[in-house]
């Protein structure tokens, strides 16, 4: 597959600064193993020095510190604490982090690899308290600036946040009345977060001169997360048909903001490889039928397409058959059926497929994996390439 990736990249002009690889489902190691192979090829042959994956951006800082050497704690601890969504349990993710750490031990600091999570600290039915992000930003500014420049005391922030459990209450997912995002305390916290971010932006030249760009970058990250979480919690308090789609849109916008920041940070070192679900990396709207609702929102890839243009390239992936996930051979008349007829796994440019797609249907196979999204023929034009995995057996190969 790496030879096919090399041939695909040689057709691109200009070369991307951000290359996305999407998976059609979570929980299938085959796609993570392919990601690892692709990243190693990109590092060794294409000058890539950074990878970002769909995991908490705050937890990802711990992983980055580990692969670059400052953090010497055991890898088991990094896998447990450095990933969200249960992704730390993946053997392929463990292999990726181990390989990156070993690579960095053999290279000078300016050639070392960096790791980023780019997702919000949000799970399917809950979102984190803003405490960690807001306290970090406040502490950073308080350390470098005059006390009188800060909008409030640390004690005020803590008092307004209160009990973290009320923010992360999973019952809010089904009952907006239990949300705290529109309480007077939450409204005041949003104003404080805005003031802190304005102060950070206005003092950036001084802060860079006093410290490092990495320190400012990390403060900006925590500020983005704080404002996003407060907006997300406010959205959780809404009671409207658009509530879920709006929340999904907030999450994807932060994903795009985080990836844009990574690309800017890495501009002088090399391109970045990003791995996530297809639904986050496509250049168009994401559509999801859930519990009788047709949800649609602009995903991270759509924002990146607007911001980066040709500098953002995305390869989406599809699967032919995966019996272990309840996915049988593709039904006739589907896009996967046409790709299945090729007889082997392949990586192909998406544009010719989109032009010749004709009258094909979206696959509707039953699956034991709730995160599985068949490739939508209407969305093929929102990809630059398609990686088709013809068969995944029960062992994940």
pLDDT above 90: percentage of residues in the chain: 86
Query: pTM (2 decimals)?
Result: 0.96
The CATH label, of 3.60.21, 3.40.1660, 1.10.287, 3.30.70, for the domain at 1-48+257-391 is: 3.40.1660
At CA 285, angle to CA 284 and CA 288, rounded to 5?
140
At CA 220, angle to CA 216 and CA 226, rounded to 5?
145
pLDDT tens profile 216-274: 999 999 999 999 999 999 999 999 989 999 999 999 999 999 999 999 999 999 999 99
pLDDT at 292 over 90: no
pLDDT at 180 over 80: yes
Position 115 scores a pLDDT of 98
CATH no., domain 124-239: 1.20.1440
In the Cβ-directed half-sphere of 57, how many Cα atoms lie within 13 Å?
Answer: 30
Q: How confident is the model at residue 397 (pLDDT cuts 50, 70, 90)?
A: very low
- The pLDDT mean for the chain works out to 94
pLDDT tens profile 182-226: 999 999 999 999 999 999 999 999 999 998 999 999 999 999 999
Q: How far is CA 215 from CA 105, 144, 369, 377, in A?
A: 23, 11, 40, 44
| Identical topology for domains 1-48+257-391 and 124-239 | no
Q: Which region among 114-118, 201-205, 350-354 has the lowest average model confidence (pLDDT)?
A: 350-354
**Residue pair 1/38 in contact by the 8 Å Cβ criterion:** yes
DSSP letters, 34-70, are HHHHHHHHHHHHH---EEEEEEEHHHHHHHHHHHHSS
Position 394 scores a pLDDT of 66
Position 245 scores a pLDDT of 94
Position 358 scores a pLDDT of 82
* Plot region of 326 (φ>0 → left; ψ -120 to 50 → alpha; else → beta): left
pLDDT at 336 over 90: yes
Pairing, β 50-56 against β 272-277: parallel
Kindly give, in sequence order, each residue whose CB lies less than 8 Å from that of residue 257, ignoring residues fewer than 6 positions away: 224
Q: How confident is the model at residue 370 (pLDDT cuts 50, 70, 90)?
A: confident
Q: How confident is the model at residue 50 (pLDDT cuts 50, 70, 90)?
A: very high
Position 365 scores a pLDDT of 72
Position 187 scores a pLDDT of 98
Position 395 scores a pLDDT of 52
**Residue pair 92/58 in contact by the 8 Å Cβ criterion:** no
pLDDT tens profile 123-160: 878 899 999 999 999 999 999 999 999 999 999 999 99
Q: Domain coordinates of the chain in residue numbers?
A: 1-48+257-391, 124-239
Q: Which region among 49-53, 172-176, 314-318 has the lowest average model confidence (pLDDT)?
A: 172-176
pLDDT at 174 over 60: yes
pLDDT above 70: percentage of residues in the chain: 99
pLDDT at 366 over 80: no
pLDDT at 63 over 60: yes
**Does a cis peptide bond (omega within 30 degrees of 0) precede residue 147?**
no
């Amino acid at each position: 597959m790496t030879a096919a990736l090399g041939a695909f990249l040689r057709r691109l002009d200009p070369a991307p600064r951000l290359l996305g690889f999407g998976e059609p489902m979570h929980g299938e190691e085959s796609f993570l193993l392919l990601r690892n192979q692709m990243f190693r090829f990109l590092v060794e042959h294409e000058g890539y020095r950074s990878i970002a994956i769909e995991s908490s951006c705050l937890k990802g800082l711990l992983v980055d510190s580990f692969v670059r050497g400052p953090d010497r704690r055991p890898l088991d601890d990094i896998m447990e604490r450095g990933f969200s969504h249960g992704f730390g349990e993946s053997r392929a993710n463990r292999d990726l982090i181990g390989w990156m750490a070993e690579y960095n031990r053999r290279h000078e600091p300016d050639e070392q690899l960096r790791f980023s999570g780019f997702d919000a600290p949000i799970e399917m039915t809950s979102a984190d308290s803003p405490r960690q992000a807001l306290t970090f930003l406040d502490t950073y500014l308080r350390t470098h600036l005059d006390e009188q420049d800060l909008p409030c005391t640390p004690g005020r922030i803590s008092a307004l946040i209160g009990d973290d459990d009320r923010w992360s209450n999973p019952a809010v997912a089904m009952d907006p009345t239990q949300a705290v995002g529109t309480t007077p305390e939450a409204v005041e916290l949003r104003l404080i977060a805005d003031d802190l971010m304005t102060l950070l932006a206005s003092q950036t030249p001084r802060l860079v001169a006093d410290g490092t760009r990495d320190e400012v970058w990390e403060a900006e990250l925590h500020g983005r997360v704080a404002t996003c979480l407060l907006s997300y919690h406010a959205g959780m308090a809404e009671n409207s048909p658009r509530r879920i789609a709006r929340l999904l849109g907030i999450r994807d916008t932060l994903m795009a903001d985080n990836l844009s920041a990574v690309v800017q940070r890495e501009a002088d070192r090399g391109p970045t490889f990003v791995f996530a679900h297809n639904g986050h990396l496509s250049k168009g709207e994401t559509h999801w039928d859930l519990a009788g609702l047709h949800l649609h929102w602009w995903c991270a890839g759509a924002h990146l397409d607007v911001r980066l243009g040709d500098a953002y390239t995305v390869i989406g992936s599809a699967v032919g058959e995966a019996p272990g996930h309840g996915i049988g051979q593709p039904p006739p008349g589907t896009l996967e059926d046409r790709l299945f007829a090729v007889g082997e796994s392949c990586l192909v440019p998406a544009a010719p497929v989109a032009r010749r797609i004709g009258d094909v249907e979206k696959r509707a196979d039953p699956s034991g994996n709730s995160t599985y999204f068949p490739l939508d023929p209407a969305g093929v034009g929102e990809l630059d390439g398609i990686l088709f995995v013809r068969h995944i057996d029960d062992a994940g190969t």
